[in-house]
Chain A
Amino acid sequence: MTLSQLEVGEIGIVKEFTDLEMSVKLMEMGCLPGEEIRISRIAPLGDPIAIHVSGYQLSLRKFEASTIILQ
């Protein structure tokens, strides 16, 4: 299961990443393995999405969310 498959309000815990380059950027922004992520909203046109992680709100495209594998 990847982050892009979650619905608004659902929570997942990061397990690993499929893309090394993207994972480095995501981890810097606080999306680390073991961290809890909640989907806060989806943009009006369906992409990107906004997530709640490490105590703040982060937005990322659906494709980028699909590189995050959840536990």
Chain B
Amino acid sequence: MKADIRVALVGNPNTGKSTLFNILTGLNQKIGNFPGVTVDKKTGFCQLPDGRTAEIIDLPGTYSIYPKSKDESIVFSVLADKARGLVPDLIVVILDASNLKRNLLLYTQIADLKIPVVVALNMIDVSEKAGITIDVDLFAKKLGVPVVPISARKIKGIDQLKSTIAYANKIALQLETIDVEPIAPQLIAQIQQELKIDNPYFALQLAHQHETLNFLSAKESDRIEELEALHSFHSQKAQATETIARYSFINDLLYDTVKKPETAQDESVSNKIDKILTHKIFGFIIFFAILMFIFQAIFSWSAYPMSLIENLFIWLQSSVNKALPTGPFTSLLVNGIIAGLSGVLVFVPQIAILFAMISILEDTGYMSRVTFMMDKVMRKVGLNGKSVVPLIGGFACAVPSIMSTRNIENWKDRMITIMVTPLVACSARLPVYTLLIALVVPNRNVWWLFNLQGLALTAMYLLSIISAVVVAFVMKFILKARERGYFIMELPVYRMPRWKNVAFTMYDRSKTFVLQAGKVIIAVSIILWVLKSYGPGDRFAQIDKTYSQPQYTKSMKPDSLSKVIASEKLENSYAGVFGHVIEPVIKPLGFDWKIGIALISSFAAREVFVGTMATIYSVEGDADKLESVQQKMHSATNPDTGKPVFTLAVAFSLMMFYAFAMQCASTVAVVYRETKDWRWPAAQFAYMTALAYTASFIVYHFLK
């Protein structure tokens, strides 16, 4: 779609910016990247009343043009990048009418850049309810810009905003808010002159931010550095002077235009809720109850849609098998691509539910209270109050949890959270644990109350959370902080969640996952298919030849014969060969080459272990039934010693391996997507494998 004008949305966090973006663009939006950085760029199109189309860019929410995080640094670099034509034709600044003072700081900074501006005075209904009266006309006159009162939640004033955007002036008419030059007179003048910049505030921003602006040439950046030294410019001091001047302008403006009652009513309602939700005892009880609810929801609500998706793909596989002639193409389609696709889509219900929950918690303002309550504990282990939810979500699935770490502003805290989340026992490990525990742990009660198998499973879950905390604590000392850690955070007023936003987040995140992680998972599935379906030399032909002899075809039922062939072929496939190759490496852990094959195929997804075991031991009957796989594994013996393969030591060693190893292509893909650097998933893969190997080794030798 071609746009006639480009409009950027700018505003503080919690001002309803994304709600407005969703209303203006509808489902007509896409997520891309800003050039050269790893921040998501949300754009969409909006039909204006004069028939033209506007491209709307949603810039990250920020309190100031001076960035505190990577996301925030985008705001100025987009508004300043004249060379690449990123600069919008018009900026819509969204102000929270019930909290104008702090919101106006960003407005005054944006206004002084002299790009055409329109003000959307959002939450006008909330501020009216709180008894705040704003003289909108005088407010607009004093700023020199069109001001449109709106309520994005109640979809009021949107048409008027659209026509204001359509008929806005093409040149910046806003009045100057502060006198910028006195902050650094000679420096500003010289930068303006040498870099041919007509706007003094723009020149001042270049002085502050030149190191992070990628549209400046190295020469220009160095020259600014020189000039700063020459005029002994101190960035923080200059910023302090500027901020004080801006607030003094804002105080004068608000004194004339806004009348406020002594105590805001909405604030006190919020206060009452806070008294309960951040209470010393009830606060934690409620928080854990909410976590349990999320955990339950992800587990139980997703069960039905997940089995529906699985069954749909099983049906699809069998019908494709029937419809197409047998051959490598059909096998690739069925066992490679469709199986891979199924592995991707089966996660969608869990992702959608987790993100629905998270966006409700964020929308209501509860998430920042969680951060407020948990900060002290989490900080001790190198995490952040906001790490709690991803870690708990990790019990369901690491993929959506890692995607949800985006709201952790502190780089180091976020990286540590991403690195340790896959250690938490996710739902894909559950079938593996259930199978192995049932195999070696007797099903009886101790002290009348506790089932031994249940205790073993609980221990695995506890181990996972302990290991995540310990690894986080270690990483706290390894990773270097990029910025000074601080915790200056707004506690927004409690609000009802906006269900439309919740739905958008669910859709958005699920789509991102399917498109981004899906590519990698399908690629891995295809590679694994090749490894499992082809073998070196003529080994496969030999197997077919052997089993086509009458002694087999006559004495065995075709069904069990084909299972024996499949098992035999898997042993001789590249995966089987690879299993034999890695056998010396995994032998100290008590694993044979058959387990080696299972470990390799588990890389697509851990739960594949059960199916692979079924194929290797050519399980008869319903291969998806745990009991039948279990029986086969129980009677499996080592051909050299004649002793059973799955002893207590081997089973627990294997569980340790599954607890710690990064056997999940989806997680690797999503960590890459979130960090945009292959070194992170590589480091994660390496440390988790090392941990898995060591833990398995110790457990095996301890129990042997």
Contacts and interface: CB of A to CB of B under 8 A. Distances in A.
Interface of A: 20-30, 32-33, 40-41, 43-48, 50, 52, 54-61, 64
B243 A28 contact: yes
A30 to B, nearest CB: 5
Given A21-B484, A44-B373, A59-B372, A33 B244 contact: yes
A56 B271 CA distance: 11
A26 B29 CA distance: 35
Contacts of A27: 240, 243-244, 247
A55 to B, nearest CB: 6
B283 A30 contact: no
Interface of B: 63-64, 66, 68, 99-102, 105, 236-237, 239-240, 243-244, 247, 260, 264, 267, 270-271, 274-275, 278-280, 283-284, 368, 371-373, 375-377, 484, 486-493
28 contacts: A20-B236, A20-B237, A21-B236, A21-B484, A24-B236, A27-B243, A28-B105, A28-B243, A29-B102, A30-B102, A32-B247, A41-B274, A41-B275, A45-B373, A45-B376, A47-B376, A48-B376, A55-B100, A55-B101, A56-B490, A56-B491, A56-B493, A57-B267, A57-B493, A59-B490, A60-B489, A61-B375, A61-B486
A50 B243 CA distance: 22
A58 B491 contact: yes
Given A21-B484, A25-B68, A32-B247, A56 B377 contact: no
Contacts of B377: 45
Nearest to A23: B240
B130 to A, nearest CB: 10
A29 B63 contact: yes
Contacts of B493: 56-57
B68 A61 contact: no
Given A24-B236, A25-B488, A58-B491, A47 B102 contact: no
Contacts of A24: 66, 236, 239-240, 243
A-B pairs, top 3 by smallest CB distance, nearest first, are A57-B491, A45-B376, A27-B243
Interface centre among A20, A22, A47, A55 (most CB of B within 10 A): A55
Given A26-B488, A58-B491, A43 B243 contact: no
Contacts of A64: 486-488
A54 B368 contact: no
Contacts of A23: 240
A43 B490 contact: no
A51 to B, nearest CB: 9
A44 B484 contact: no
A24 B487 CA distance: 14
Nearest to A25: B488
B258 to A, nearest CB: 10
Contact of A32 (B239, B243, B270, B486): B243
Contact of A25 (B100, B486, B490): B486
Given A48-B372, A57-B490, A57-B493, 14 more contacts: A20-B236, A22-B486, A27-B247, A29-B488, A43-B376, A45-B373, A54-B102, A55-B100, A56-B102, A56-B490, A56-B492, A57-B270, A59-B488, A60-B488
Contacts of A26: 488
Contacts of B66: 24, 28
B101 A30 contact: yes
Contacts of A59: 368, 371-372, 487-491
Interface centre among B274, B280, B491 (most CB of A within 10 A): B491
Contacts of B239: 24
Nearest to B489: A59
B102 to A, nearest CB: 5
Nearest to B375: A48
Contacts of B283: 44
A57 B98 CA distance: 12
A32 B242 CA distance: 12
Contacts of B488: 25-26, 29, 58-60, 64
Contacts of A32: 243-244, 247
A34 to B, nearest CB: 9
A40 B271 contact: yes
